[in-house]
Amino acid sequence: MMTAAYLRTRTPSPLANKARTIAQSHPYAVAAAVTAGALAISALVNRRLARNAENDNPPAGQFLEVNGVRLHYVERGSGPPLVLLHGNGSMIQDFETSGLIDLAAKNYRVIVFDRPGFGHSDRPRNVVWSPAAQAELINSALHRLGVPHAIVLGHSWGASVAVALALTYPNLVQGLVLASGYYYPTLRPDVVALSAPAVPLVGDVLGHTISPIVSR
């Protein structure tokens, strides 16, 4: 003779019923709360990862406070001043690992900046960091360092800053070396796709939550 087994199910608690009711009545509010929680957790994780990265990669040079911006720079060698400006997604270490700094330092006073927002340099959000704005900052920094004129090498986006520097301060720039630069405006869909981090508030949220994880 066969017997049947019955499974008893627990009656949902009043708290669970209340939570379900709220979720059904306010789905958008619940989704917003979940999203905010996920972003908060991402921000905490990224802050920890950033702190670890800074500990593993301490500043290689010195800092200079210019127009409210804390600029990180490396200076090496002696002779005619040579300024190196890196591109996007780059920093001083790219010039360092390539051997360019040590090679140039044999004949020049090499000055390499982490452009605003890269490496260990600050990037205040109250400024639109166009090539012209960065050129003004670099000019002020060089003035503080006692550099009246220099040869300027700009790579990639740094070439745009170098050109702006030469156009605005012709007495400063004795010569330009432009490597893989971007000089003429063109229609590029990737610019639209990658411009979100530059939007005020939106960029701040992305920069501390999603962007660092996606770009790893």
Task: Indicate whether 37 and 113 sit together in one domain.
Answer: no
pLDDT of residue 19: 58
Residue 79 has phi, psi (to 5 degrees) of 125, -160
Task: Indicate whether 99 and 160 sit together in one domain.
Answer: yes
Task: Indicate whether 101 and 153 sit together in one domain.
Answer: yes
Lowest mean per-residue pLDDT among 57-61, 90-94, 145-149: 57-61
Split into its structural domains, the chain has a count of: 2
Stretch (H or E) spanning 98: helix 92-98
Residue 150 within a domain:
yes
Task: Indicate whether 90 and 162 sit together in one domain.
Answer: yes
Contact 147, 173 (CB under 8 A): no
- If DSSP codes are grouped into helix, strand and coil, which group holds residue 163? helix
- Domain containing residue 83: CATH number: 3.40.50.1820
Is the pLDDT confidence value at 13 over 70? no
Residue 50 within a domain:
yes
Task: Indicate whether 67 and 166 sit together in one domain.
Answer: yes
Residue 128 within a domain:
yes
Task: Indicate whether 75 and 99 sit together in one domain.
Answer: yes
Task: Indicate whether 53 and 113 sit together in one domain.
Answer: no
Task: Indicate whether 67 and 170 sit together in one domain.
Answer: yes
Residue 130 within a domain:
yes
Lowest mean per-residue pLDDT among 5-9, 14-18, 33-37, 151-155: 5-9
Contact 149, 165 (CB under 8 A): no
- This prediction's pTM: 0.77
Is the pLDDT confidence value at 32 over 60? yes
Residue 81 within a domain:
yes
pLDDT of residue 1: 47
- pLDDT mean over 92-118: 97
Task: Indicate whether 141 and 200 sit together in one domain.
Answer: no
Is the pLDDT confidence value at 119 over 70? yes
Angle, CA 32 vertex, CA 30 and CA 38 arms, to 5°:
105
Task: Indicate whether 198 and 93 sit together in one domain.
Answer: no
Residue 2 within a domain:
no
Lowest mean per-residue pLDDT among 34-43, 79-88, 122-131: 34-43
Task: Indicate whether 177 and 161 sit together in one domain.
Answer: yes
pLDDT of residue 78: 97
Task: Indicate whether 68 and 120 sit together in one domain.
Answer: yes
Chain segment 158-207, per-residue pLDDT in tens: 999 999 999 999 999 999 999 999 888 777 777 666 666 667 677 677 77
The whole domain housing 25 covers 13-58+192-216
When the pLDDT of each residue in the chain is averaged and rounded to a whole number, the result is: 84
Residue 165 has phi, psi (to 5 degrees) of -65, -45
pLDDT of residue 6: 47
